[in-house]
Structure formats: structure tokens, C-alpha cells
């Protein structure tokens, strides 16, 4: 209760500040839970500049990093209720709010990084963005977030190595089912609590991109990164439906155009920083990177594709279209 009251107070205070410092311009508050050095923050600041330029200063974005306005889930709920303008979450978290995001979370649905990005820029993405309009938010852009693999203090070369291990996962049905199929014990824990959970043995391992090893120092408490690359789950930038409907068409278009331009910009800086983070993790934190044979992992989780497709014609169609974009 205190946490919710504190967040609401912070949001109201920031809203008053926005009103006090701008006369004609409308400023959209954007929340995310990552540090300012992360490519996502840098890219959102880049998008903010584009939006201001495209609207001649009539529409602005102010980016709040480090979960200042709430965790990912709290931010999405605030956006749904119209108490926060925009937020950056990820497709794993969003699956609980809008089922169509589940297709992006399927393990091994993307055959390559290029296939992944082609899907993010396609009409598949546009359909997913608008699917949640009646649920309080509209998607604006996907943000590449690399491939996710397991990390722990031992090598994970096959699903058998996961047996009995408590693996931190995001609160996503897909992530939970994936770890179960691979033989592990999925344990949903907030990202901000994961370092201490790894340190204290609350969980035995986690799964994320290499950035997490350095950005939030997980490489200090998990020394082996096993590159099975089971998922490529994108970040999601969304806007409150209430806010979206209040904007004139030209400003809606400016946001969508800026979002597309930001996606390409973000891909470049993200992929470059990933290479740097791998080197830092190896050289400064002593993390061992292990290449694994992906075949057994793929075989274990492939039934998830068929199971999700069976839930609705829309999901089946989206899965077919995603696979059809592979080159």
C-alpha cells in the first residue's frame, strides 16, 4: 500500500512540474526500469528528440529511468489506468496483459537476429500493438533486447543440467512453461531482487541477455553464461489508450514515425554494446561463456509452438506469419 501511494504521489508531483514548466507543449512521462547507460534509455532519449523535432516542440517525452515511477508491472498498470503516459516493458511481461504478445516469447521462433528484426518491423508487430487498445494501452515500438540464455555457477550444456535447478524467470506463462519443459524449477522474482537472490542461493540461476551480467552486475554472482539463446524477447514501448486517443492525428503519426526510426537506431547501438559487455563480463568479472548444442533444447520446447497456435486462429496466424518471414 505504501509503495502504491508513494508511486502515485511521485506521478502527481511530476505532472504538476510538467504543467509548471510548459505552456503550450504536452509532455509525456515515460517510465522504464533500466539504468541510464543501457541502450534502451539512450534510444528513448533519442526518440524524445525526434518527437519534439517532428511536432515543432508541441509534443515532448520525458524519460524516467531506474524504475523511478514503478517496476515494469506497476508502470504498465499505471499506463492502463491513464495515470502514466508511457512505459517501456518487455513482451514477456506484456503477455499477462495481452495474449498476442505470447507469440514473441516462444523459444526458438526466430531463426536469426535478422529474422527477429524483420518481424519487429512488420505488420505482425502492428497487429500486436493495436490488439491491446481496449485494454488500456497501445504499442508504439519494439526494441531489440538480444538473445536470452541461462547463467549460473555451473555449465548448462543440455536440458539435463537444469534438472532440480531453481531458475529465475519473468512472470510470463511462456517463460515458466519453457523452464519446466527443460527440467528446471521456474521461480518468478522481480528483476531488481535477482542479484541478492543469486547471491543468497534463493535461485540457482537465471536467464537473460549478456547485458545483465554487467549492467546490474549479475556476473559477480553467476560465473558461467551458457549460450543456448532460447529466446529473443523484445522490449515494448507503449502509450496509454486514454493519452493516445487525446492526441491529434499528426502527433500520433509523429510518435509512430519516431518509434520506427528509434527501433533501427536502437538495434545498432544495442548490438554494438552487447559485444562490449561480453568482453567486460569475460575480462573484468571473470564470466565463462560456453557454446552449447541447441538441438536438445529446441526439441524439448517445440511443443509450445503447437500448443499456443491451438489456442486461437489469430495466434496460429501470427505464428505462421512470423515463421514465413524467415529468409
Phi, psi of 236, deg, nearest 5: -130, 125
Q: Would you put residue 70 in left (φ > 0), alpha (ψ -120 to 50) or beta?
A: left
Residues contacting residue 106 through CB under 8 Å, at least 6 positions apart: 174, 231, 304, 305, 308, 319
* pLDDT score at 200: 97
CATH level 2 (architecture), domain 148-232+276-324: 3-Layer(aba) Sandwich (3.40)
* pLDDT score at 9: 56
If you write DSSP's letter for every residue of 99-139 in order, what string do you get?
A: GGGGGGGSTT--SSHHHHHHHHTSHHHHHHHHHTGGGTEEE
**CATH, range 2-97+132-145+234-275:** 3.40.190.170
* pLDDT score at 20: 40
Domain boundaries, the chain: 2-97+132-145+234-275, 148-232+276-324
Q: Of all helices (H) and strands (E), which one includes residue 301?
A: helix 295-301
Task: Report CA 108 to chain centroid distance, whole Å.
Answer: 17
3-state secondary structure of 207: strand
* pLDDT score at 197: 97
* pLDDT score at 2: 45
* pLDDT score at 170: 85
In angstroms, the first-to-last Cα distance of the chain is 50
* pLDDT score at 172: 82
Paired sense of beta strands 137-143 and 185-188, if any: unpaired
Report, as ranges of residue numbers, the positions in the chain whose pLDDT lies below 50.
1-2, 16, 19-23
* pLDDT score at 13: 54
* pLDDT score at 144: 96
If you write DSSP's letter for every residue of 210-266 in order, what string do you get?
A: THHHHHT-GGGT--EEEEEEEE-PPEEEEEEHHHHHHS-HHHHHHHHHHHHHHHHHH
pTM: 0.85
Using an 8 Å Cβ cutoff, are 144 and 265 in contact?
no
Same topology between domain 2-97+132-145+234-275 and domain 148-232+276-324:
yes
Amino acid at each position: 500500500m505504501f509503495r502504491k501511494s508513494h508511486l502515485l504521489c511521485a506521478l502527481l508531483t511530476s505532472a504538476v512540474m510538467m504543467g509548471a514548466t510548459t505552456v503550450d507543449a504536452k509532455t509525456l512521462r515515460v517510465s522504464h526500469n533500466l539504468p541510464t547507460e543501457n541502450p534502451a534509455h539512450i534510444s528513448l532519449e533519442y526518440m524524445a528528440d525526434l518527437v519534439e523535432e517532428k511536432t515543432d516542440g508541441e509534443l515532448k517525452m520525458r524519460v524516467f529511468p531506474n524504475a523511478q515511477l514503478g517496476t515494469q508491472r506497476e508502470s504498465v498498470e499505471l499506463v492502463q489506468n491513464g495515470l502514466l503516459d508511457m512505459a517501456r516493458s518487455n513482451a514477456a511481461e506484456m503477455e499477462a496483459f495481452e495474449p498476442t504478445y505470447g507469440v514473441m516469447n516462444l523459444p526458438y521462433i526466430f531463426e536469426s537476429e535478422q529474422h527477429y528484426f524483420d518481424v519487429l518491423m512488420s505488420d505482425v508487430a502492428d497487429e500486436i500493438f493495436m490488439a491491446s487498445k481496449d485494454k488500456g494501452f497501445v504499442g508504439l515500438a519494439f526494441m531489440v533486447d538480444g538473445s536470452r540464455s541461462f547463467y549460473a555457477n555451473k555449465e548448462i550444456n543440455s536440458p539435463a543440467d537444469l534438472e532440480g535447478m531453481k531458475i529465475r524467470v519473468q512472470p510470463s506463462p511462456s517463460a515458466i512453461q519453457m523452464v519446466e519443459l527443460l527440467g528446471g524449477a521456474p521461480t518468478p522474482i522481480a528483476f531488481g531482487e535477482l542479484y541478492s537472490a543469486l547471491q543468497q542461493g534463493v535461485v540457482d540461476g537465471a536467464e537473460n541477455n549478456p547485458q545483465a551480467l554487467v549492467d546490474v552486475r549479475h556476473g559477480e554472482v553467476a560465473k558461467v553464461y551458457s549460450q543456448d539463446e532460447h529466446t529473443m524477447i523484445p522490449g515494448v514501448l507503449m502509450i496509454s489508450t486514454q493519452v493516445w486517443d487525446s492526441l491529434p492525428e499528426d502527433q500520433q503519426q509523429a510518435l509512430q514515425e519516431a518509434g520506427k526510426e528509434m527501433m533501427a537506431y536502437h538495434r545498432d547501438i544495442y548490438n554494438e554494446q552487447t559485444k562490449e559487455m561480453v568482453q567486460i563480463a569475460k575480462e573484468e568479472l571473470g564470466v565463462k561463456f560456453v557454446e552449447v548444442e541447441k538441438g536438445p533444447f529446441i526439441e524439448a520446447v517445440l511443443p509450445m509452438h503447437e500448443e499456443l497456435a491451438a489456442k486461437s486462429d489469430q495466434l496460429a496466424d501470427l505464428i505462421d506469419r512470423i515463421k514465413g518471414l524467415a529468409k
